[in-house]
Amino acid sequence: MTTTTSPANRQHVQDALATFVESDQNDNSYQYFRASDLQEIDPQLSGAIIGSHLPTIEDESPLASGLIVERYTDANCGPTLWTVRREEQ
């Protein structure tokens, strides 16, 4: 296991995702984001760290925290665009 793929870094990515969702003041059902958006929340996260964990987080969604992460594939929009939302209860 490399530093990039460590469980501690994965938790940092998940925490940044939760903070990102909670920061939505418009109460949207989902939000678009790129790795750079999570870097703004947690400057300790690099694009490599975020990029190494998002595909796994997507595969394991919904997470215990209720977050669902999906790759946005409807358009050719440059760097990978993702969506995050809370699981409906």
Look at residue 35 and tell me if it is in a domain: yes
Higher pLDDT among residues 1 and 54, named by residue: 54
Residue range of the domain that includes 63: 7-86
Look at residue 23 and tell me if it is in a domain: yes
Look at residue 1 and tell me if it is in a domain: no
Look at residue 2 and tell me if it is in a domain: no
Look at residue 59 and tell me if it is in a domain: yes
Look at residue 33 and tell me if it is in a domain: yes
**Which pTM value belongs to this model?**
0.87
- Side-chain-side CA neighbours of 27 within 13 Å: the count stands at 0
7-66 confidence digits (pLDDT tens)? 899 999 999 999 999 988 888 888 999 999 999 999 999 999 999 999 999 999 999 999
- Domain count for the chain, please give it: 1
* Phi, psi torsion values for 84, nearest 5 degrees: -135, 140
Look at residue 63 and tell me if it is in a domain: yes
Q: In CATH, what number is assigned to the domain containing residue 77?
A: 1.10.10
